[in-house]
Amino acid sequence: MATITFHGAAQEVTGSCHLISSPSLGDVLLDCGMHQGMRAKHLISREQFEFNPNSIDMVILSHAHLDHSGRLPYLLHDGFTGPIYCTEATSQLLPIMLFDALSLYENDLRRENRKRARKGLDDIPAQYTKEDVLDVLDCLKPIAYQQEVKIAKVASVRFHDAGHILGSAITELTFDEQGKQKKVVFSGDLGNKDTLLMNDPTLLEQADIVLMEGTYGDREHKSLGDTQTQLKGILDDAFARGGNVMIPAFAVGRAQELLLYLGKLQHAGELDNWQVFLDSPMAIKVTEVYDQWLPTLDCEGVKKLHTGEQSLLKNFLSTLHLMVDAEDSMAINKISGGALIIAGSGMCTGGRITHHFKHRIWDSRNTIIFVGYQAKGTLGRILVDGAQHIKLFGDDIIVKANIETLNGFSAHAGQAALIEWVSHFKSCPKVILVHGEPDALEGLAEALKLQHNIQAEIPVLGETIEF
């Protein structure tokens, strides 16, 4: 009997990690992601695996976002030595993601150990190192979309485009169990069809069990047209106030889409005189990878906006400034108005965006625009929920900047798109809902039952389901 045990992203939106066990397949991890809250709370005592990393035969990675990939170095550090299957683009993005995360971790660790030293306490030892990240990269086995690859004697994997970020995959895992073929489909993160850059998620028809994300399972996004109109209105108001705009954005996916939307506004003469700052070395590196893959994406928006070399960084947005060095980032603080700053991290759990908040969040002329999901426990979620004061770098800071949310820029499918995707299966599979907060998953489950008589299950953390 095959089983699936849910070690993360069960009634939560981060920490994706699902363990499939079968005598013919072995022990296979679908994703190995970190929980993305305030980093400090995970610093002293990191999450321990609820399984033995030595026993895991392989990892199948849906995409490069850290809530799906971020614990891979810990897995290697604790004894895993097997292959890690992913798409080709994911294998290019993963080094950027993991080395950036390592840098943040090491900075936090040094800061915490300095505090401990002043109190006469011992240092906290590093939980993983650069060598562990390099070991992860050595284990990668890139696979092209639609290519079926044998991963065990009676098992194979195939990736399909999930349309979420570059390289994001729907995983189709096929294996024999007691003489009978079984097929598991894991959606990973499904993309929002109403975007300018990414392809639509691939529709599949056959599966025995489907693990589907439900991040926005209880709601819909505004249309692309409405969202662009809303963005223009927010920017016009901010410009009239003489302020600056800060957009926390994930370096992979969101930053690239934003450049495309802003380019559209500029080419239509609707961007006023904003100076756009991509203040993220990581996002710049990631965008260079996106540029390599533009011909494979739904990039008509890029083609229509200029006739030169296809690139999101070159000859596309004339007022775009790429801020690589810390000194470049700090120089933005001298600009009193007209700066549109795109910086990480996307949930404001660290990175350069927090420094911009320190300098600008207390000024009512300024605006913060949230364009991505904000998980519970993150600074981004606290601000979206209406906080009047926040703690930054040890200081209590008043929040006077205008807080705006644009969920139409989401890289996740809304409720209708999720239902459309899963209802396309003709084999009446068991449906398991993951990667969503309880209200979102319950709303999606109710809609599936009402519209298609699909009885979806919602597992809790640590639960095991047989199939």
DSSP per residue, 176-212: EETTEEEEEEE--SPPPSS-SSSPPPPP----SEEEE
Fold of 3-219+411-466: Metallo-beta-lactamase; Chain A (3.60.15)
pLDDT at residue number 71: 95
pTM: 0.91
**Average pLDDT, 10 consecutive residues per value, the chain (467 residues):** 95 95 95 72 64 97 96 96 98 96 88 93 93 98 98 96 97 93 97 88 98 96 84 94 94 91 88 94 95 82 60 83 94 94 90 94 96 86 95 93 89 95 97 97 98 97 95
Residues in Cβ contact with 334 at an 8 Å cutoff, skipping those fewer than 6 apart: none
- Domain limits, the chain: 3-219+411-466, 224-409
pLDDT at residue number 309: 66
Using an 8 Å Cβ cutoff, are 63 and 168 in contact? yes
Six token digits for residue 69? 């990939």
Residues in Cβ contact with 22 at an 8 Å cutoff, skipping those fewer than 6 apart: 2, 3, 175, 177, 182
Residues in Cβ contact with 121 at an 8 Å cutoff, skipping those fewer than 6 apart: none
pLDDT at residue number 317: 86
What's the Cα-to-Cα distance from 286 to each of 85, 237, 283, 373, 391, rounded to whole Å?
Answer: 20, 31, 5, 20, 30
pLDDT at residue number 170: 98
Six token digits for residue 133? 């990240």
% helix, strand, coil for the chain, step of 5? 35, 20, 45
Of 368, 392, 282, which is closest to residue 40 (Cα–Cα)? 392
Q: From the DSSP assignment, how many helices (H) and strands (E) are in the chain?
A: 13, 21
Using an 8 Å Cβ cutoff, are 175 and 153 in contact? no
pLDDT at residue number 299: 65
Residue 216's φ and ψ, nearest 5 degrees, are: -115, 40
Query: What CATH number does the domain located at 224-409 have?
Result: 3.40.50.10890
pLDDT at residue number 301: 60
Kindly report, residue by residue over 75-133, the tens digit of the pLDDT. 999 999 999 999 999 999 999 999 999 998 898 889 889 999 999 999 999 989 999 99
pLDDT at residue number 368: 97
